[in-house]
Chains A and B, each alone.
Chain A
C-alpha cells in the first residue's frame, strides 16, 4: 500500500488581489522504500504540495481533493489528528538548517523532545536515543556533540541534526523540501548519501522536493515534473531524465548546465601534472596563468584581506594572484567561505586589501585618488547576485540603468541619455517599453538583465559578475548567460565571473581559479583545470557535483565513494 497518495489535490491561496490556484489536480503516490522527486521551477507549486501533505498550509490557503498518508486523510483533518501524524508517521526536512533548529537549545535536547512528543519515554531514555540518532546520521563523537548548541555545528552537521529529528520516530514517510539547496556541493553529496542509506535501511518512503536535476538523478526512483501547479510528466527517473516526453521537461533538461566530465576510467593523465602546464587542449594558446604580453585589465597581486585585528582576525584572503585580460572570462569558483566574493570585491575597490596590490587598467588603485580613481571606476560594470536587492525599488528601470551615466556623464542631454538606455535595453533583449516600469513589476530574469544593462551603459572594459544567475531558475539562467556571452563577443569586455556552480563556469569561462579558504588551490584554462584537475580538492569538488543523468551519476557516485574509502584507508 502506498504511504502517500494524493488524488486530485488542489490548493488555492486567497490574496489581496484575488484567489490564486497554486496547485491543481495533483495525483501522485509514494511507495514504502521509494523516493519520488517532485521537480519544477520556482512558483510551480512543488513546495505547496509537500506542505499540503503535512497539513502545514498557511492560513490563507484552502486545499481540495485528497491526500492520504498511511491511511489517514490529511485534507480537512482536525489539528489534533494532524499533530499525531506529524513527527511520527510523516516528518519533514526543510531547506535551511540555520533556521530549522532552536538556537538556544542543545541539539541532543531538541532531538529528545521530538522523541518524547510521540512516545512514553523517560527523559534519560530519550537522551540516550538522541545520541544513538546522532551516531546514525554520522556525527562524530555523538555523546559530546549532543551537548552542543546549533551555532557550534557546521551547516552540514546542522542538516544532519535536522534529519536525526526527522527520523527520530521512524516515520514511514519523509518529506524533504530542497534539503541540500543551502549547502555546498561536497556537503550536499554527503547529505544525499545519508538520506539514501536511511531510506534503504528503514524502508521509509521519501518525497523529495527539488529544482536540481542532478540531485534527482542521484537520489530519486521516480520523478514528477510540475509546471504552474500541475504535474505534466511522471515516470521512472531514467525515463524522465533521459527520454523526456513532455515539451516542458525537454526544455527544462536542455537548460540545465551540464558538467562535462573526463570519460570514465580515463581520469587524469598519468603522472602529476605541474600546475599551469597545458594538457594539449584547444585552449592551450592561452598561457594558463594568463600573464601574456598586454597588461591585464585587472591584476590582483599577492592580495591578503583580514577582517578584524590580532588573534581574532578572520583571514578572508591570503596572498592571492588573479589577473583578467581584455576579452577573456575568468571564472572564480569555490565553496562558501572560500573568499571568492571577497576577491571580487577587492577587484571592485569595495574591500581594501590588507596587503598586496590591485591594478585596474594598469593603474594602482592604492595611489589613484579623486578624479583619477573615479575615471578608473567608470570602466567597471557590476552585476550582483540578488535580483531583488540589485535594483532600487523606488526608481524606474530607466533611472536604474541611467545611474552610472548620472555619476560619470553628467553633461549628457536627456535625449542622448534616453537613446543610450534604449540601446542597452536592446542589447540585453528587453523591450524598450520596460524603461518606465518599476523593478517590482519585473521577473527575476528581467531584473538581472536590467542589472546587466546598467553595468553595460558606460561600455565598461571589465564586468564583475558575482553569482549573477544563482537566484534564477535554470531556464532563465540560460537566457541571461546567453545574453551575457553575446554581449561579450560584441563588446569585448573582460569578465570576472564568480560562481559556485562548476557547470556554469565550465561553459562560460576560458580560465578558472579554484579557491578554498582564502587561498587559490589551482588555476588554469577551464578545460585543463575542470577536466584534469591537479589538486585533490578540485577533484573532490568536481566529483561531488551531481549530473542530471541517472546512469552516469550512479557511476560517478560509486567512483567518488571508492576514492573516499581509499583516502580513509
Chain B
C-alpha cells in the first residue's frame, strides 16, 4: 500500500480568538486512495484536534462536507488526493458566512428552501386508503433528476449571481421547486411561482451554468432555471396579453 506526504493549507477562523481568517499549513502522510476528507480526519485525529468541519456519510449523499478545494466547490469525501498535485488549499464554501474554520452558516439556504414550498401540493387529494397515485416511469423521469439534490450548497458557492445578489433564491431551491412543479401528482405550481417569479427569483440568473458543472449528483439546476424562466415568461404573456386565457 502506497503512502505519500501531502501538504494542505486549511483556512482557520475562530470568531472568539481570531480577528480574521488565516491559512494553516499541515503536512501529513496520506494513503494513495484517500480523499481530502480522510486527510482532514487524519489531521483532526493526530495533529490538530481544534480543526472544525462538518462531515458524516463519506459517500456523497449526506451533503455535509462541501468546501472549496483549490478554489473549486467540492465534496471533500469525493475529492481524491490522487487528482491533486502540490499543496491542496481547503477553504469554506464561498458566498456563505464563516461560522468557524470550514463550517459555514447556511441559514439563508434553509430559509429559501422553505419559501419555495418544496413539498407535494396534490392536484387531487386522495385518502391513503385508496392506494398510491399512478405515475408511469416516463412521468417519473420528468422530475427524477431534480430529486437528487443533496443540499450540499456547492451550486451556491459556484453561482456568480448569488455572490453579487444574495437575495437570489439560487440553484438548489429553484431546482427543488421545479422538481415538484414537474411531478405529475402535483398541482402547486402557481403557489410556488409567486416566490420564484419575484424579482429575486429566476430573473437574476445569467445562465452561466456553473451550478450544473459543480453538482456532485449531476443534477442540472441550470436546466431547471431555464425551464422555470420559460414558464414564467409564458405566464406573463398569458396574464398581460391574453387575459382571457387566465380563466
Q: Determine if chain A interacts with chain B.
A: no
A residues neighboring B (CB under 8 Å)? none
B residues neighboring A (CB under 8 Å)? none
